[in-house]
Structure 1
Amino acid sequence: MTRFPAVDGLRVIAAAAVVTSQVGLHTQAPFAGVVARLDVGWAIFCALSGFLLYRPHVLAWFSGTLPPLTLPYLRGRALRILPALLVTVVLSIVLVPEPATTYLRWAVLTPLPFYLLLPGLGRLLTGYERPTRRSVRWRLLVLVALTILGPVWMAAVMATGHPEAGLWLPGYLGWYAVGMGMALWQVARATGRLGPSTLDTLTRVPGTLWGIAAALLLIAATPLAGPYDLSAPTPAQAFVKSLLYTAAVACVLFPVLTPTARTVQVLGSRPARLGAQLSYGVVAYQFVVLGLLDGPFAVQLPVALLASVVLAAVSYRLVERPLVRFGKKTATAATAISATSPSSSPAR
Structure 2
Amino acid sequence: MTSTDPIRDSVASSSTATRAAAPHAGTPGPAAGPRRFYPQLEGMRALAAIGVLTTHVAFQTRAVEIPVLGPVLGRLDLAVALFFGLSGFLLWRPWVDAAHRGAGHPSIPRYLRHRVVRIWPAYVVAVVLVLLLLPEAQGADFDVWLANLTLTQVFVPLTLTAGLTQMWSLSVEIAFYALLPVFGLALLRLRGRRVGARIPVLLAIGVLSLGWAWVGASLPVAEGVETKNWVFGHLVWFVAGLILAEVAGVLDTAGASRGRWMNLAIRISANRWLMLGLLVVAYGLACTRFAGPTGLGDVSNIEFVTKMVLGALCGYALLAPLVCNPGPFRFLDSRVMLALGRWSYGIFIWHVAVLAIVFPLFGIVPFNGNTVLVWVITLGLSVGIAAASYAFIEEPARNWLRNRDTRRRSNPVAP
TM-score by length of 2: 0.75
> How far does the alpha carbon of each residue in 1:134-192 deviate from its partner, in whole angstroms, 9 at most, with x for none?
x2232211111222244332355468898711111101111111111111122123322
Which runs of structure 2 are paired with 1:274-289 in the superposition (5 Å)? 274-289=339-354
How far has the Cα of 1:272 moved from its partner? 2.1
Q: Partner of 2:397 in structure 1?
A: 323
Asked if 2 retains the 8 angstrom alpha-carbon contact of 1:33 and 1:221, the reply is yes
How far has the Cα of 1:342 moved from its partner? 4.5
Q: Partner of 1:147 in structure 2?
A: 206
Alignment partner of 1:102 is 2:176: no
Q: Partner of 1:35 in structure 2?
A: 73
Q: Partner of 1:136 in structure 2?
A: 195
Gap runs ≥5 in structure 1:
344-348
CA RMSD of aligned residues (A): 2.2
Whichever residue aligns with residue 387 of structure 2, its letter is A
The 1:234/1:162 distance shift into structure 2, 3 A limit, reads farther
Q: Partner of 2:314 in structure 1?
A: 248
Which runs of structure 2 are paired with 1:281-300 in the superposition (5 Å)? 281-294=346-359, 295=364, 296=369, 297-300=371-374
Alignment partner of 1:212 is 2:278: yes
Q: Aligned to 1:280, what secondary structure does the other structure show?
A: helix
Whichever residue aligns with residue 22 of structure 1, its letter is H
Q: Aligned to 1:197, what secondary structure does the other structure show?
A: helix
Count of residue pairs the alignment pairs up: 336
For 2:379 and 2:164, how far apart are their aligned partners in 1? 21
For 2:350 and 2:208, how far apart are their aligned partners in 1? 30
For 1:181 and 1:62, how far apart are their aligned partners in 2? 15
For 1:256 and 1:342, how far apart are their aligned partners in 2? 44
Whichever residue aligns with residue 328 of structure 1, its letter is R
Gap runs ≥5 in structure 2:
1-33, 138-160
For 1:17 and 1:210, how far apart are their aligned partners in 2? 17
Alignment partner of 1:170 is 2:232: yes
How far has the Cα of 1:44 moved from its partner? 0.5
Asked if 1 retains the 8 angstrom alpha-carbon contact of 2:216 and 2:228, the reply is yes
Q: Which has the higher helix share?
A: 1
TM-score by length of 1: 0.89
Asked if 2 retains the 8 angstrom alpha-carbon contact of 1:11 and 1:279, the reply is yes
Q: Partner of 2:6 in structure 1?
A: none
Q: Aligned to 1:170, what secondary structure does the other structure show?
A: coil
Alignment equivalent of 1:72, drawn from 92, 110, 117: 110
Q: Aligned to 1:99, what secondary structure does the other structure show?
A: coil
How far has the Cα of 1:293 moved from its partner? 2.7
Which runs of structure 2 are paired with 1:1-348 in the superposition (5 Å)? 1-2=34-35, 3-29=37-63, 30=66, 31-93=69-131, 94-95=133-134, 96-97=136-137, 98-100=161-163, 102-108=165-171, 110-125=172-187, 127-132=188-193, 135-154=194-213, 157=216, 164-191=226-253, 192-195=256-259, 197-262=263-328, 264-294=329-359, 295=364, 296=369, 297-338=371-412, 341-343=413-415
Whichever residue aligns with residue 122 of structure 1, its letter is G
> How far does the alpha carbon of each residue in 1:38-88 deviate from its partner, in whole angstroms, 9 at most, with x for none?
111101010111111011011122223432211211111111111221122
For 2:290 and 2:269, how far apart are their aligned partners in 1? 30
Percent same amino acid at aligned positions? Answer: 28
For 1:244 and 1:265, how far apart are their aligned partners in 2? 28
Whichever residue aligns with residue 258 of structure 2, its letter is L
